[in-house]
Chains A and B, each alone.
Chain A
């Protein structure tokens, strides 16, 4: 168990809908990262938050947004969903230092039908 909790584990929704994925980082970790894993794109970095503020942005679509709350949990919001958004979404957390180990959650499998 990595200590990173993601909910829900599975999500099935229709095209055009909006969903929210939730992540609770390991105790003491201030940094949260979101990654998307798909068969054709592999593991892609989406966005990083550190202590409530956006720290880095990757290949995140404009339809997607995230935030980190004062209790350090994070939510990834996906809207106007398309079939191609079906993927595994992972949250990871780390202490915000150079080369810090990132601990990954079990992921949320999103299926858009």
Chain B
């Protein structure tokens, strides 16, 4: 059972455009929602993360929007650049009682930014 559902599977955007990737979750115990960027042959790298006590977080061209009631969060990449072409993963974790914050990943979105 996929704990975090991600869409779309792939996305093609023109340079300068806005890339939007959406994720949804069911487990209300999740309390940390990071986005990871992965280039071919590399490990995932943290891009930006949000806690459920805020509805939006912005870092440079990257923004997370979080809707706690809908159990959804999304990544917006403004002014998309060819260098942003990569696979993006949303994830969620729950600190809980055990202090285990292993990540549950979405299935990934392959973003291609066309020059």
**A residues neighboring B (CB under 8 Å):** 2, 4, 31, 33, 35, 42-45, 48, 50, 55-56, 58, 90, 92, 94, 96, 98-107
Contact = CB atoms under 8 A, between A and B. Distances in A.
Contacts of B51: 99
28 contacts: A2-B43, A31-B101, A33-B103, A35-B103, A43-B103, A48-B100, A55-B98, A55-B100, A56-B98, A56-B102, A90-B44, A96-B99, A96-B101, A98-B31, A98-B95, A98-B99, A98-B101, A99-B93, A99-B101, A100-B101, A102-B34, A102-B101, A103-B46, A104-B43, A105-B43, A106-B41, A107-B42, A107-B43
A104 to B, nearest CB: 3
Interface in B33-77: 34, 36, 41-46, 49, 51
The main secondary structure of chain A at its interface with chain B is strand
A104 B44 contact: yes
Nearest to B41: A106
Given A50-B99, A96-B99, 15 more contacts: A4-B43, A42-B107, A43-B44, A43-B105, A45-B104, A48-B100, A96-B101, A99-B31, A99-B32, A99-B93, A99-B101, A102-B34, A102-B101, A104-B36, A106-B41
